[in-house]
């Protein structure tokens, strides 16, 4: 992955709108047209998928072809479990299209009937992205009936059916993904998601302590230290290296990382406005801001995520 990134950096990016995967045939005919490449075709598409993913990630693209490239890949090589796994996670997460991820996985369910991976990741998308616990439970359970399903799939099935708090199940899934993959990109994604979930967990804990304080004392705290140790044990370390602060105007705990994200988004939206005034249209993708000299660089996302840029605005 690192090599891809370095390689990407060494060549000047093409800013005028070009579709790197426009050559890719689509639809069912792809199985036929790639056949002459024999065993090499799935490898080419797999490398193309990774390359595309890396490219879009760096340039802050919209991952328009992500679904298509994984669709093609799993059509050519319907037994390729890693493609289902990696594909569904990035399509649902960074590609923000959980429904598409499920569509691809459902084909795997049929064409790769002995693998627990497709049903498990359908459950995963329902659980984490679509928050449909009943369906998630159904697919987790389906995964347990296929050979080789690890023990945590059973636990997750139980979680989903019992509607155990989402966060706990999610952390479990992500940590299992983290442990069981050699794919560095996937490891990073898992780690990022685990950190986000832990951050949420901490915020919830802090805010619960705060609410109890206000209920019992009938006033807002002057300083955080008033809460320790009766209402909260200690201020936890913020997983992204920021800090937790008490914001009296909002009357709740917030993470400085979140504040920073809000600041960056406001900054970017402001610059997008400048861009629009200057050129009369909104850029196709965020890196056009840099290309056209409106800003020097795009500040990295504090959570290591991709900015959600749609229709001329960055949203959270």
Partner 1 sequence: MREVILNSYREAIRDRVLLVVLAFGVAMIFSSLIIGPLTLGEEIRLAKDIGLGSILFFGLLIILFIGNRVLYRELNEKTCYLILTRPITRFQFIAGKAIGLFLTILVTSLILGIIFISYISLLTGSLQITAFLAVIGVIFQLTMLVGIVILAATFLNPFLGSLFTIFVYIFGQMIPRAILLAKFYKHLAIARILSIFHYIFPDLTYLDFRELLIYNNPIPLERILFGFSYAICYSLVMVLVAGLIFERKDL
Please tell me whether residue 1 binds partner 1 under the rule CB under 8 A. yes
174 or 231: whose CB is closer to partner 1?
174
Determine which helix (DSSP H) or strand (DSSP E) holds 309, and give its type and residue range: strand 308-310
**Rounded CA Rg of the chain:** 22
Does the footprint of partner 1 cover residue 185 (CB under 8 A)? yes
Report, in Å, the least distance between residue 104 CB and partner 1. 17
Applying CB under 8 A, does 33 fall inside the site for partner 1? Answer: yes
Site for partner 1 contains 46 (CB under 8 A): yes
The residues, any chain, with a CB within 8 Å of residue 282's CB and separated by 6 or more, are 272, 275, 276, 311, 312
Q: Quote the least distance from Cβ 28 to partner 1, whole Å.
A: 6
40 near partner 1 (CB under 8 A): yes
Tell me how crowded residue 132 is: count the other CB atoms within 10 A of its CB.
16
- Alpha-carbon distance of 74 to 107, in angstroms, equals 8
DSSP 243-302: -EEEETTTTEEEEHHHHHHHHHHHHHHHHHHHHHHHHSS--SSTHHHHHTTSSS-PPPPT
293 lies in the site for partner 1, by CB under 8 A:
no
Position among 8, 15, 20, 50 found at the interface with partner 1 (CB under 8 A): 50
Residue among 14, 29, 266, 315 that touches partner 1 (CB under 8 A) = 29
**68-97: which residues touch partner 1 (CB under 8 A)?**
79, 82, 86
Q: Which two tokens stand for residue 285?
A: 């993708």
State the nearest-atom distance from the C-beta of 80 to partner 1, in Å: 8
Tokens in use for 213? 């304080």
User: Residues interacting with partner 1, by CB under 8 A?
Assistant: 1-4, 28-29, 31-33, 35-40, 42-43, 46-47, 50-51, 79, 82, 86, 181-186
């Amino acid at each position: 992955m690192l090599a891809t990134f370095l390689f990407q950096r060494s060549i000047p990016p093409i800013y005028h709108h070009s579709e790197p995967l426009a050559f890719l045939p689509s639809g069912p005919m792809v199985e036929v047209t790639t056949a002459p490449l024999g065993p090499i075709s799935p490898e080419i598409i797999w490398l193309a998928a990774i390359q595309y993913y890396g490219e879009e990630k760096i340039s802050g693209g919209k991952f328009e072809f992500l679904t298509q490239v994984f669709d093609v890949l799993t059509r050519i090589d319907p037994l390729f479990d890693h493609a289902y796994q990696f594909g569904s996670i990035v399509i649902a997460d960074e590609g923000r299209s959980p429904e598409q991820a499920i569509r691809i996985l459902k084909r795997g369910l049929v064409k790769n009937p002995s693998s627990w991976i497709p049903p498990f990741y359908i459950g995963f998308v329902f659980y984490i992205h679509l928050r449909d616990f009943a369906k998630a439970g159904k697919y987790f359970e389906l995964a347990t009936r296929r050979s080789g399903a690890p023990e945590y799939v059973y636990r997750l099935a139980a979680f989903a059916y019992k509607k155990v708090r989402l966060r706990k199940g999610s952390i479990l899934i992500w940590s299992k993904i983290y442990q069981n993959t050699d794919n560095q990109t996937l490891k990073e994604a898992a780690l990022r998601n685990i950190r986000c979930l832990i951050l949420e967990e901490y915020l919830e804990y802090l805010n619960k302590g705060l609410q109890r304080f206000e209920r019992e004392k009938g006033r807002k705290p002057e300083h955080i230290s008033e809460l320790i140790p009766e209402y909260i044990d200690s201020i936890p370390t913020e997983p992204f290296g920021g800090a937790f602060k008490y914001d009296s105007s909002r009357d709740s705990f917030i993470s400085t990382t979140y504040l920073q994200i809000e600041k960056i988004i406001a900054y970017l939206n402001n610059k997008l406005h400048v861009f629009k005034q200057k050129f009369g249209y909104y850029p196709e993708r965020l890196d056009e801001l840099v290309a056209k000299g409106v800003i020097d660089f795009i500040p990295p996302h504090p959570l290591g995520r991709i900015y959600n840029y749609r229709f001329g605005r960055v949203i959270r």
